[in-house]
């Protein structure tokens, strides 16, 4: 073999090695603070790198579940080992296309080449593992940069962290901030791969109102963080505009009233790429501003995974101290689990997938839900509750309800175990002024069967009109 051929062969070998390295993918993991990781139930390895697993409290199903996260780019191989057999393992949602391979009775592996947020379930809701594969971080701030509140790896007991206009809170991977963030003003960012942790605080007794709370601000960006074990509502925006909540993971369900995301008197907001598990409502849109009544409008929720243990997936209304709720859209959502409690449409605290609840004389209109997949384990629930109802705000009950109009539900599918599932859709006004009207349902299916106006689950009641099924 001559010199030229040797050089060519060497170049080809180097290229092959380079391609193999690229194909294998880049992985970034974040060791947990001392004593916070829990390997008693699950061990996770990604391309040979261990991923620390955290426990999370839940009031039901043996009192615990687990979560872990890492960043990656390119193709990676994930190996999960469980303390119990994985013979019947299920991975949700299906849209990430993750197909596990059985390695041993207690071990599975799978490949991934794009970000994902999944639930790995060996026994349904009993002690699952939530695993989050994040994209690599970009433009990471440095400690000491101007207007950066920087928290590196480790435990930080801050109590209440006050954030002012123009500041960025950065939680590095492996950072756990014990306490809450109270942000007031414009141009505020909260980002990173760290955890805001409310575990030390009893219900309603945290160091500030909510674990993450932004108030009276525009241009609010919350990205990449995880929020664990809230003591009240979890992530709340009050009187805010131009809000982006991206790739946030809420891992709660340790108590009732732990709504995952509450958009209160908030407009021009996007919630996307988020995994929300809580005991109470996943997405709540509220009017809490009894004086200014700032409008709730131009809200988009997309590309998310929702899991509520006791309450509602979407709750729009109830607190209705706002000029209106309008132009609200949700699309490409997977509902992994809904409430374990079956409460019908005539109960005040019904449990619902889509609860549209205008009250206090408020108009609610221009709402659209599309490409939403609900997985049922056989429990019944109310799917749609479009009902004008006298509710309340801040402890004061309204004397009147509100009205709802111009709503669409398109490509809504219920699949899974049928068993006791009935899935009532209830449309109900209160009087000639407080009406429910102009609602279109297109391609709504239960276990592959299209729902029509004549389906037994459909209830069109008093002061409800123009309810159309396509």
pLDDT in tens, 210-255: 999 999 999 999 999 999 999 999 999 999 999 999 999 999 999 9
Over residues 362-419, the pLDDT tens digits come to 999 999 999 999 999 999 999 999 999 999 999 899 999 999 999 999 999 999 999 9
- 363-377/195-197 β-pairing: unpaired
**What are the Cα distances from residue 256, in Å, to 76, 235, 433?**
37, 15, 34
SS3 label, residue 8? helix
Over residues 448-462, the pLDDT tens digits come to 999 999 999 999 999
- The yes-or-no verdict on residue 7 having pLDDT over 50 is no
Q: How far apart are CA 357 and CA 277, in angstroms?
A: 22
Q: How far apart are CA 250 and CA 154, in angstroms?
A: 20
Contact 101, 130 (CB under 8 A): no
Residues 6+ apart with CB under 8 A from 433: 403
Over residues 305-315, the pLDDT tens digits come to 999 999 999 99
| Residues listed for the chain | 470
> What domains are defined for the chain?
26-135 (2.60.350.10), 233-469 (2.160.20.10)
Q: What pTM, to 2 d.p., does this model score?
A: 0.94
Give first-to-last CA distance, the chain, whole Å: 72
């Amino acid at each position: 073999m001559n010199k030229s051929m040797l050089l060519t062969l060497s170049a080809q070998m180097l290229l092959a090695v380079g391609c193999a390295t690229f194909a294998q993918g880049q992985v970034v993991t974040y060791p947990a603070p001392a004593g916070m990781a829990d390997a008693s139930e699950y061990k996770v390895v990604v391309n040979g790198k261990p991923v620390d697993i955290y426990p999370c409290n839940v009031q039901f199903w043996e009192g615990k579940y687990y979560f872990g996260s890492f960043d990656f780019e390119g193709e990676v191989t994930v190996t999960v080992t469980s303390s119990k057999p994985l013979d019947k393992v299920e991975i949700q949602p299906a849209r990430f296309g993750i197909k596990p391979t059985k390695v041993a009775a207690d071990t599975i592996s799978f490949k991934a080449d794009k970000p994902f947020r999944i639930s790995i379930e060996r026994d349904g809701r009993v002690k699952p593992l939530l695993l989050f594969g994040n994209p690599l971080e970009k433009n990471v701030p440095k400690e000491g940069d101007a207007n950066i509140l920087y928290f590196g790896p480790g435990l930080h007991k801050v109590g209440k962290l006050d954030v002012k206009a123009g500041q960025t809170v950065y939680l590095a991977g492996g950072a756990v901030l014990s306490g809450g963030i109270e942000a007031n003003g414009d141009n505020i960012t909260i980002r990173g791969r760290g955890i805001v942790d409310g575990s030390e605080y009893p219900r309603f007794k945290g160091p500030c109102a909510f674990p993450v709370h932004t108030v009276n601000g525009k241009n609010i960006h919350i990205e990449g963080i995880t929020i664990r074990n809230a003591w009240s509502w979890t992530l709340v925006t009050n009187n805010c505009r131009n809000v982006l909540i991206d790739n946030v993971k809420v891992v709660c369900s340790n108590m009732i009233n732990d709504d995952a995301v509450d958009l209160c008197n908030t407009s021009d907001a996007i919630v996307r790429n988020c995994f929300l598990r809580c005991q109470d409502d996943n997405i709540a849109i509220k009017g809490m501003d009894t004086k200014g009544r700032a409008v709730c409008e131009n809200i988009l929720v997309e590309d998310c995974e929702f899991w509520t243990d006791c309450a509602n997936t979407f709750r729009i209304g109830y607190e209705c101290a706002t000029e209106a709720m309008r132009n609200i859209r949700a699309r490409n959502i997977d509902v992994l689990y809904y409430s374990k409690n079956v409460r019908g449409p005539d109960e005040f605290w019904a449990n619902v997938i889509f609860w549209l609840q205008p009250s206090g004389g408020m108009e609610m209109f221009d709402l659209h839900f599309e490409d939403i997949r609900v997985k049922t384990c056989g429990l019944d629930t109310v799917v749609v509750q479009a009902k004008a109802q006298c509710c309340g705000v801040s402890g004061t009950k309204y004397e009147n309800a509100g009205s709802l109009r111009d709503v669409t539900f398109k490509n809504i599918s219920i699949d899974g175990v049928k068993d006791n599932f009935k899935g009532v859709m209830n449309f109900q006004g209160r009087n000639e002024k407080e009406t429910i009207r102009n609602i279109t349902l297109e391609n709504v299916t239960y276990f592959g069967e299209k729902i029509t106006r004549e389906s037994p689950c459909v209830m069109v009641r008093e002061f409800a009109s123009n309810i159309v099924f396509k």
